[in-house]
Chain A
Amino acid sequence: MPLRLVPRLAPSRLALYGAPLLAVAATVVFGYVLFLAIGRDPLTALHAYFIAPVNSRFGLSEWLLTALPLTLIGLGLAVGFRANVWNIGAEGQLLLGAIGGGAVALALWREGVPGTFLLVCIAGALAGMAWAAIPAFLRTRFNANEILTSLMLIYVADQLLGYLVHGALRNPQGFGFPESRLFSAEAIMPNLLSGTRLHVGWLLVPLAVLAMWFLMSRTVTGFRLQVSGEAAGAAAYAGFSQKRMVWLSFLLTGGLAGVVGAMEVAGPVGQLLPEISPGYGFAAIIVAFLGRLSPVGVLLAAHLLALILIGGENVQMLGVPVAVAQLFQGVLLVALLASDVLVRYRVVRLGRLGRGSA
């Protein structure tokens, strides 16, 4: 019997919470068949994917550590996307944060200033905001498409980082390899849990989620952001400045991405390298949409994405090819996004619809 999607009058509460569970269930079934098909024990593989990464203290800490950049950047992006401001360049803003923070860490390398890591984070945030200001300026001044400008600036940032670690910021005792010195102890993010790599920067996660929730649901600015995203004409009629929304979105995300970049190099990495991020800035775009642009949703989505990222490494140790691991991740994401259709639409059989409208 043919099926048809009919729009719901209001989003379904049941589907809102049920759809993600359905998507995960569908992915697990798919994964079971997939792992069986390539001759691996499906239960072992699924265990390695979802359970093994988080069943130890260290595993948990790594999970939180990986979700940290995704959450912070995802929150910033969600605000911008709600206002219809399309900052695709968070990865570049992250790299600039790493450069700015790293430069401060290296400048104070010999000084032994207590709390250098705070300066590193502030420098990172400022550098990220400065980088984000470029597409914001081009958009508000020349009406240049911010998707293109912010995206292109990622490659510029990447080259800039490469240039610096090959030149000015290169370790003089490093045999010419493209990397900086290891940062001094004062510049390294203090540990939150001994024996792990989780650092104090993680405290920003609950703070940022709360702040973003407050901004979006309890302030006039949040309301303006929302209105200019959903009805630009109405927002203009009400006298809301579109330009202010663009600037706000970009500076917020740029600052968050910048601080993330600084905390990566001053945290788990401990130095500047030509490659710093495995693509957090891009993954955070998925996180923002997966989390339906809501603060708690972003938090959950970031932790799900971090889990399957680590799980993907884990199953490789069982001999699952990386392509299969990525396929599985892709299926999960597609299933989650596709299941969203159930929130706004209901599935009905075509026959019944025909009778009803006749």
Chain B
Amino acid sequence: MPTRRTLIAAALGLGLAGAAAADEPLKIGFVYSSLIGDAGWTYQHDLGRLMVEEAFGDRVETAYVESIDGGADAERVIRQFASQGYGLIFGTSFNHMNPMARVAAQFPDIAFEHATGYTQDTNLAIYHTRAYESRYLVGMVAGMMGDSMGVVASYPIPEVLRGINAMTLGARSVNPNFTTRVVWISTWFDPGLERTAADALLDQGVDVLAHFTDSPAVVQAAEDRGKHVVALGDMAQYGETSHLTALVYNWGPYYVERTQMVLDGTWETANTWEGISADMMTIAPFADSVPQEVRDMVMAKKAEIGASEFHPFQGPLVAQDGSTKVPVGEIPDDMMLLSMDFYVEGVEGSLP
């Protein structure tokens, strides 16, 4: 009965192979656009990666490649991960979108996840945070601690405009005369340029700084000049007295959830855009100088946003030119938020 024996052997073999596969840790790759450093965008993604390692221990194995941005490198690195048995790959920068989409099409059995983009596929999920919710909250803090804000901004894309507008709205909700000015520096990371822009804003007399760039340079500028700053990611170690609070991206819960799905075999593509309610956004601890009543107000608003009782862009939303963008009592849809291309009332200067 050679046939049956072969069948049994094959069955046994399959079973063993299955068991071995189950014991093999799931390999997860992360592609970072900048160096991890000790603060900023990539640092916060890496905290998420560490959370995955902590949550799953031996069941996962993670790896990352830093400093991969635009150009031909991204596709090679993503593909390298895919062909080395990685089962789940995260691309954490907008510039990874098209390379990732191309590789994903060639590896249909691997789960790909891309942050901040808009191209989705059956094995390519996209995810992003509603950072504007936390921006609104840090804006409130700025509005109660000063009368004007200077923003060191990167590129005039909807994500950044939402952030500038949300901070301004938050500040003006508690301080109606609050104004915001913006310096665009066309980079996500350039400590020298960030510092120059921050100094220029402080020379113009702004009370509070904010930034969309990755280094702690803006925080250091505020610290050196005795002014305040609301930071991107907890940078309190760089601004003992100046660092009021910060918006904090919390990628960990999402990374843990998606990893669990791959381990369970239930992963499927998704378009995730979550904020405070899903714990994907939060704010950093307040500085000692922030009074208790300010903290209470901000935390109360955070709870309202988390419970969907309040939307930072709910009407009336008035643009800089006086036109009404969202009527009283209405909440803008995601499409309007995703294509935001205007300043709200209170922001000075014109869009580049």
Chain B binds chain A = yes
| Interface positions of A (Cβ within 8 A of B) | 56, 58, 62, 65-66, 159, 162, 166, 175-178, 182, 197, 264, 267-271, 273-278, 310, 313-314, 316-319, 322
17 A–B contacts from the bound complex (CB under 8 Å): A58-B83, A166-B155, A176-B339, A197-B75, A197-B76, A268-B72, A269-B71, A269-B72, A270-B98, A273-B71, A313-B73, A313-B76, A313-B77, A316-B63, A316-B66, A317-B84, A322-B65
Residues of A near B191 (CB, < 8 A) are none
Q: How far is the CA of A123 from the CA of B155 in the complex (A)?
A: 28
Q: How far is the CA of A169 from the CA of B300 in the complex (A)?
A: 45
Residues of A near B84 (CB, < 8 A) are 317
> Which A-B residue pairs are the 6 nearest by beta carbons?
A275-B70, A268-B72, A273-B70, A316-B65, A322-B66, A317-B63
Residues of A near B75 (CB, < 8 A) are 197, 268
A66-B72, A178-B155, A278-B71 known; A271+B98 contact, CB < 8 A:
yes
Q: Are B157 and A177 interface neighbours, CB within 8 A?
A: yes
A313-B80, A316-B63, A316-B66 known; A175+B71 contact, CB < 8 A:
no
Residues of A near B68 (CB, < 8 A) are 313
Interface string of B183-225 (1 = CB under 8 A from A): 0001000000000000000000000000000000000000000
Q: Among B63, B68, B72, which residue has the most Cβ atoms of chain A within 10 A?
A: B72
> Does B41 sit at the interface, judged by CB under 8 A?
no
Q: Other than the known A176-B157, A182-B98, A314-B80, what 7 A-B pairs have Cβ atoms closer than 8 Å?
A: A176-B156, A271-B98, A310-B76, A316-B63, A316-B65, A316-B66, A322-B67
Interface string of B145-175 (1 = CB under 8 A from A): 0000000000111100000000000000000
Q: How far is the CA of A198 from the CA of B81 in the complex (A)?
A: 19
- In chain B, what residue has the closest Cβ to A196? B79
Residues of A near B29 (CB, < 8 A) are 317
> Does B310 sit at the interface, judged by CB under 8 A?
no
In the assembled complex, the CB of A133 is this many whole angstroms from the nearest CB of chain B, namely: 26
Residues of B near A270 (CB, < 8 A) are 98
Q: Are B71 and A264 interface neighbours, CB within 8 A?
A: yes
Q: How far is the CA of A313 from the CA of B84 in the complex (A)?
A: 13
Partner of A313, one of B65, B71, B155: B65
> Does B95 sit at the interface, judged by CB under 8 A?
yes
- In chain A, what residue has the closest Cβ to B116? A177
A176-B157, A316-B64, A317-B29 known; A276+B83 contact, CB < 8 A:
no
In the assembled complex, the CB of A188 is this many whole angstroms from the nearest CB of chain B, namely: 12
A65-B72, A313-B77 known; A275+B95 contact, CB < 8 A:
yes
Residues of B near A175 (CB, < 8 A) are 118, 157-158, 338-339
- In chain B, what residue has the closest Cβ to A272? B70
Residues of A near B76 (CB, < 8 A) are 62, 197, 310, 313
Q: Are A159 and B79 interface neighbours, CB within 8 A?
A: no
Q: How far is the CA of A176 from the CA of B341 in the complex (A)?
A: 8
Q: Among A271, A278, A317, which residue has the most Cβ atoms of chain B within 10 A?
A: A317
Residues of B near A177 (CB, < 8 A) are 94, 157
Q: Are A318 and B70 interface neighbours, CB within 8 A?
A: no
In the assembled complex, the CB of A329 is this many whole angstroms from the nearest CB of chain B, namely: 13
Q: How far is the CA of A159 from the CA of B352 in the complex (A)?
A: 14
- In chain A, what residue has the closest Cβ to B156? A166
- In chain A, what residue has the closest Cβ to B155? A178
Q: How far is the CA of A318 from the CA of B84 in the complex (A)?
A: 11
In the assembled complex, the CB of A111 is this many whole angstroms from the nearest CB of chain B, namely: 22
Q: How far is the CA of A42 from the CA of B134 in the complex (A)?
A: 45
Q: Are B35 and A318 interface neighbours, CB within 8 A?
A: no
Residues of A near B79 (CB, < 8 A) are 58
Residues of B near A271 (CB, < 8 A) are 98
Residues of B near A274 (CB, < 8 A) are 70, 155, 186
> Does B279 sit at the interface, judged by CB under 8 A?
no
Q: How far is the CA of A162 from the CA of B352 in the complex (A)?
A: 12
In the assembled complex, the CB of A282 is this many whole angstroms from the nearest CB of chain B, namely: 14
Q: How far is the CA of A318 from the CA of B27 in the complex (A)?
A: 12
Q: Are B186 and A159 interface neighbours, CB within 8 A?
A: yes
Partner of A264, one of B64, B72, B341: B72
In the assembled complex, the CB of A260 is this many whole angstroms from the nearest CB of chain B, namely: 11
- In chain A, what residue has the closest Cβ to B76? A62
A175-B118, A175-B339 known; A317+B65 contact, CB < 8 A:
yes
Q: How far is the CA of A19 from the CA of B112 in the complex (A)?
A: 46
Residues of B near A66 (CB, < 8 A) are 72
In the assembled complex, the CB of A292 is this many whole angstroms from the nearest CB of chain B, namely: 27
Q: Are B341 and A269 interface neighbours, CB within 8 A?
A: no
> Does B69 sit at the interface, judged by CB under 8 A?
yes
Residues of A near B83 (CB, < 8 A) are 56, 58
Q: How far is the CA of A271 from the CA of B94 in the complex (A)?
A: 14
Residues of A near B352 (CB, < 8 A) are 166
Residues of B near A268 (CB, < 8 A) are 72, 75
Q: Are B95 and A273 interface neighbours, CB within 8 A?
A: yes
Residues of B near A65 (CB, < 8 A) are 72
Within 8 A of A (CB), among B69-105: 69-73, 75-77, 79-81, 83-84, 94-95, 98
In the assembled complex, the CB of B308 is this many whole angstroms from the nearest CB of chain A, namely: 24
Q: Are A319 and B80 interface neighbours, CB within 8 A?
A: no
In the assembled complex, the CB of B117 is this many whole angstroms from the nearest CB of chain A, namely: 8
Q: How far is the CA of A316 from the CA of B65 in the complex (A)?
A: 6
- In chain A, what residue has the closest Cβ to B27? A317
A176-B341, A177-B94, A182-B98 known; A277+B71 contact, CB < 8 A:
yes
Q: How far is the CA of A278 from the CA of B339 in the complex (A)?
A: 30
Q: How far is the CA of A305 from the CA of B45 in the complex (A)?
A: 30
In the assembled complex, the CB of A115 is this many whole angstroms from the nearest CB of chain B, namely: 23
Residues of A near B65 (CB, < 8 A) are 313, 316-317, 322
Q: How far is the CA of A264 from the CA of B71 in the complex (A)?
A: 8
In the assembled complex, the CB of A239 is this many whole angstroms from the nearest CB of chain B, namely: 45
- In chain B, what residue has the closest Cβ to A326? B67
A178-B157, A313-B77, A316-B66 known; A162+B339 contact, CB < 8 A:
no
Residues of A near B73 (CB, < 8 A) are 278, 313
